[in-house]
Amino acid sequence: MNEWLNANSEWVIYLVTILLIGGGAEAGAALARRRRERPSSDGDRFLSALAAPSIGLLALMIGFTFSMSLSRFEARRAAVLSEANAIGTAALRGQMLAEPYRSVVAPLFREYAMLRISRKGAVLGSAATIQAVQRSLTIQEELWRAGMDAAAANSQVVPAGLFLQALNTMIDVHEERLTANRNQVPSVVFVMIEGIAIIAFGFAGYGLQLANVASRRAMWVMALMMGSVIVLVLDLDRPQSGFITVDQSPLLDLLDGKR
């Protein structure tokens, strides 16, 4: 399910969500039409009354899920800033190294910063994303070897120790950011929300049909609104592949020399 959510655009998911929710309302209305030939019973009134608490439960689930997605979004945004600061600090301390090590690490830091910029539309687990992470790990090893060689060349020089300390922080922050990007709301939560929405609107459609309401346009409008909110929460949980993406300005400013 998670693969399907990541592989499809928000518009496809939105359309499927609307059709499922609206289809639930129509299924409830169809069931009520079949029962119309029978005398109205307390059971019919009970089923109609279930629409309100079901929609209330749906709103509660969406609220909790939105809070989960928002907290993860803020964590990803903070991770970008932390990584930009860590790369900038390590690059500055790399300028303190003696030659030829200073000239070796400078281009590596620039390439590393470019790799750490998440492109809009990037999908977690895609070949391009995996390749960028693997190249980042390779550059980390090259930078670490350069720092160790600089320290071995002159163990009394302080800059090499400061460089290795900053580089260690940069490596730690790299993993923290990867973890933040992978920490998504479980797909089963969205499946549960979708299921509750279908059932809730099925009860609502059942009640409208029993009340002899011929037009269900208002129900479809509600389905559009509910589907929009569900897709918004889902979009907030997708780091770079939706309408709402994590700002990469700290890393871009680092490359442009504005910080």
Q: 37 in a domain, yes or no?
A: no
Average pLDDT in the chain = 85
Phi/psi region, residue 246 (left: phi>0; alpha: psi -120 to 50; beta: rest), is beta
- Scan for tokens 């309302």, then name that residue: 25
What CA–CA distance (Å, rounded) separates 207 from 201?
Answer: 10
Long-range contacts (CB closer than 8 Å, 24 or more residues apart) made by 13-20: 13/231, 13/234, 14/227, 14/228, 14/231, 17/194, 17/197, 17/227, 17/230, 17/231, 18/223, 18/224, 18/227, 20/194, 20/197, 20/198
Residue 249 Cα to chain centre, angstroms? 18
Confidence check: pLDDT of 258 > 60:
no
Q: What's the whole-number mean pLDDT along residues 168-187?
A: 91
Q: 194 in a domain, yes or no?
A: yes
Q: What percent of the chain has pLDDT over 70?
A: 88
Q: How does residue 256 score in pLDDT terms, banded at 50, 70 and 90?
A: confident
Say if residues 101 and 150 touch (Cβ distance below 8 Å): yes
Cβ burial of 118 (10 Å; 0-12, 13-18, 19+) is: buried
Q: 214 in a domain, yes or no?
A: yes
Q: 70 in a domain, yes or no?
A: yes
Q: What percent of the chain has pLDDT over 90?
A: 42
Say if residues 205 and 24 touch (Cβ distance below 8 Å): yes
In a 3-state reduction of DSSP, which class is residue 189? helix
Name the more confident of 155 and 31: 31
Q: 58 in a domain, yes or no?
A: yes
**Predicted TM-score of the model (pTM):** 0.81
What CA–CA distance (Å, rounded) separates 85 from 159?
Answer: 18
What CA–CA distance (Å, rounded) separates 114 from 71?
Answer: 26
> Mean pLDDT lowest for which of 8-22, 30-44, 74-88, 245-259?
30-44
DSSP assignment of 205-226, as one string?
HHHHHHTT----HHHHHHHHHH
Residue 2 confidence (pLDDT):
58
Q: 36 in a domain, yes or no?
A: no
Confidence check: pLDDT of 9 > 80:
no
Residue 179 confidence (pLDDT):
92
The domain in which residue 54 lies consists of 2-30+43-256
Confidence check: pLDDT of 121 > 90:
no
Q: What's the whole-number mean pLDDT along residues 169-178?
A: 94
* Type of residue at 27: A
Sign of CA dihedral 80, 83, 89, 90: negative
Residue 196 confidence (pLDDT):
93
Residue 109 confidence (pLDDT):
95
State how many domains the chain has: 1
